[in-house]
A and B are shown apart, each in its own frame.
Chain A
Amino acid sequence: MRYLPLTDADRRAMLAKIGAKSIDDLFADVPEAARDGHFALPRHAGEMEVERRLSELARLNIAAGDSAFFCGAGAYRHHIPASVDHLVQRSEFLTSYTPYQPEIAQGTLQVLFEFQTQVASLTAMEVANASMYDGSTAAAEAVLMAHRITGRNRAVLSGSLHPHYAETIRTMAGLAGEIVSAPVRLGEAEDLAPLLDEDTSCVVVQNPDVFGFLRDLKSIAEAAHAQGALLVAVVTEAVSLGLVEPPGAMGADIVAGEGQSLGNALNFGGPYVGLFATREKYLRQMPGRLAGQTVDVEGRRGFVLTLSAREQHIRREKATSNICTNSGLCALAFSIHLALLGELGLRRLARINHARAVQLAERLTAIKGVDLATPAFFNEFTVKLPKPAIEVADALANRNIIAGVRASRLYPHEPGLTHHLIVAATETNNAGEIEAYARELEKVLAC
């Protein structure tokens, strides 16, 4: 028996409601030629043949691990100790989805509790939730939360907030109010204060920003607070928190971050793990799940999901968020990696990252015509090249050096950024790779 959830009459009623004639109308955006379902694929092949063919195709890619890799801009290649992968696969943890019968999974809840503690300490905030989908959705949730707290609905975004984050905020919070983006000021402390007004709920600033530039958030925090608005600080490189002054110490009211850098591979852009932290006074307005520590009737330590009345399964449409899922498995990897590093280990890792980036920046800017566009940085910086970055990056890719992210890929409509390349260096880039990058760049530019 087939399961038929809808009758034809149901379908007709639904289509009529949205003004579509047929189900095919819903796919009008797909080019006609691609709609007939006929693709030039072989009908049958044995498993071995399929594997061989797919491997051939896969070899056309340059994998991050098979090259000298200097891309960042929100996704960072770091070394993940083998012990992380081993521990996350232990059966005590391997219920990676958000717990629906939570108290039975004490191990999972304890990990989430530790994760929250780590995120709060890293960001210098008072409370953190049990994680969100990723950094960009966390940033959008932060904007919606600021709207709830302030009763206002206008958000101001820094021009050097990662454009994908800005886009996610527009998608998720665009219907909830006005979103204003500041113009791009590469390598400068942009003055956002004139954009704030009495309707502004928050200003969203990334640190280090998308170009790698390090920001002092104190003055913008003061300007926001003077207008009764909140500062949402975005961090896309969690390792930076081992060295850079945390957002909580610079006046941030909400921190939305990406935790991929710790414990999680590049994974083609996801799944990642969103970090979300705030001040205790805003706890009730915070989205997401929250693990709490308590004692049972016999006085033994235990863990629960707490403050659930904020969540959608209880508050329905009045919930603080309609995404109460957390990235459990990625959060687990984050927590295990950070626990293995410890505080001193994280600081050391952060110093190594910074040192590698400084070394690379010095070598690259020693080349004639290559200028540093970000005077202060952590492990990522932007250089201005004497040729269009797209040509240089392609030429270097042919020499097995993935040189960075072109600024014009993120800002296709900014004509002033065509020659800029955003370059990241982590502990995975050794002296040989840095040397090779500088050597090959010099050759490419001399052509």
Chain B
Amino acid sequence: MAELRFTESHEWVKADNGVATVGITRYAADQLGDVVYVELPQSGKQLKRGDEAAVVESVKAASEIYAPVAGEVIESNGALSGNPAKVNADPEGGAWFFRIRIGDTPALDTLMTKDQYTEFVKKL
């Protein structure tokens, strides 16, 4: 079981066999409030690190989700489109947004660990 890594823009990443699964953190989901809509990237889309990859919209805000690593999108979590509330229910598990075939592996090491992210959020 690979460990989760975190970004300052509140995405989490789980890398497994060169594939990164990306979602938003529990903290981000709580801050957004009830999620009502997600816009997911199409498979095959090439992303650079930091590119806008998806959109999550709640009753009070809409935010971009950025690609934490570069690579090609190979899958999106279609289940979220029909049931966006899942993002609030299980943000760091079943409510992943998309999967990327990682193009820049070293980039993962620069992301925060769970403990680092917890510290980071405390200061916000």
Contact = CB atoms under 8 A, between A and B. Distances in A.
Given A309-B57, A309-B58, A284 B64 contact: no
A318 B64 contact: yes
Contacts of B37: 284, 309
A314 B61 contact: yes
A285 B60 CA distance: 17
Interface residues of B, number: 9
A303 B62 CA distance: 22
Interface string A291-322: 00000000000000000011000110010000
A314 B58 CA distance: 11
Contacts of A315: 62
A309 B39 contact: no
A309 B64 contact: no
A250 B59 CA distance: 34
Contacts of A284: 37, 39, 57
Contacts of B62: 309-310, 314-315, 318
Contacts of B59: 309
Contacts, number: 17
Interface in B39-96: 39, 57-62, 64
A211 B37 CA distance: 43
**Which of A284, A309, A314 lies at the interface centre, i.e. has the most chain B CB atoms within 10 A of its CB?**
A309
A281 to B, nearest CB: 11
Contacts of B57: 284, 309
A314 B64 CA distance: 13
A36 to B, nearest CB: 51
A387 to B, nearest CB: 58
A13 B43 CA distance: 47
Contacts of B60: 309, 314
A244 to B, nearest CB: 35
Nearest to B52: A318
A310 B61 CA distance: 9
A315 B58 CA distance: 12
A71 B57 CA distance: 47
Nearest to A319: B62
A309 B35 CA distance: 11
Nearest to B39: A284
B66 to A, nearest CB: 13
Interface string A312-334: 00110010000000000000000
A275 to B, nearest CB: 25
B63 to A, nearest CB: 9
A26 B60 CA distance: 41
A284 B57 CA distance: 10
A315 B39 CA distance: 15
Contacts of A310: 62
A284 B55 CA distance: 11
Contacts of A309: 37, 57-62
A53 B26 CA distance: 72
10 contacts: A284-B37, A309-B37, A309-B60, A309-B61, A309-B62, A314-B60, A314-B62, A315-B62, A318-B62, A318-B64
Interface of B: 37, 39, 57-62, 64
Given A309-B58, A309-B62, A314-B60, 12 more contacts: A284-B39, A284-B57, A309-B37, A309-B59, A309-B60, A309-B61, A310-B62, A314-B61, A314-B62, A315-B62, A318-B62, A318-B64
